[in-house]
Amino acid sequence: MQSNDIVIHTDGACKGNPGPGGWGAVIEQNGGQVKLSGSEPQTTNNRMEMTAVIKGLEAVDPSDKVLISSDSTYVINTMTKGSKRKANHDLWEQLDRLVGSRNVSWRWVRGHNGDRGNELADALATKEAGTAR
């Protein structure tokens, strides 16, 4: 990784779907790590997956090269394979604006399979989903 390369590990969680939800993003850059998380009282798992990516991208400089690492086939396939966008149009618009002219690449990882960054993002999201009110 070069000094401006960033990996953002993201995950979303929901207690019920829909239900209370949480998102987590772990930003790795220059050997350091920043953890971001949040919750919504009534949402869906897919909205939390998307929110994690949005919040992660909002937290980094638009000129940085970014790799989004996610276990969400919903997010990854929509952004890389042009899957149909049948719902969550407000979040897709935000995500499209944030990606815009940035240098963003996408990587799918199997969830709950030992990927350190994904496990940490999952823990943040799950904790937030449990405290959402």
Active-site residues, by number, are: 11-12, 49, 71, 112, 122
What is the identity of the amino acid at 118?
N
Residue 63, helix vs strand vs coil = coil
Residues 6 or more apart whose CB falls under 8 angstroms from that of 60 comprise 6, 8, 27, 29, 66
Contact (Cβ atoms closer than 8 angstroms) between residue 41 and residue 19: no
Whole-angstrom distance, CA of residue 52 vs CA of residue 25: 6
Tell me the two tokens of residue 51: 């929110």
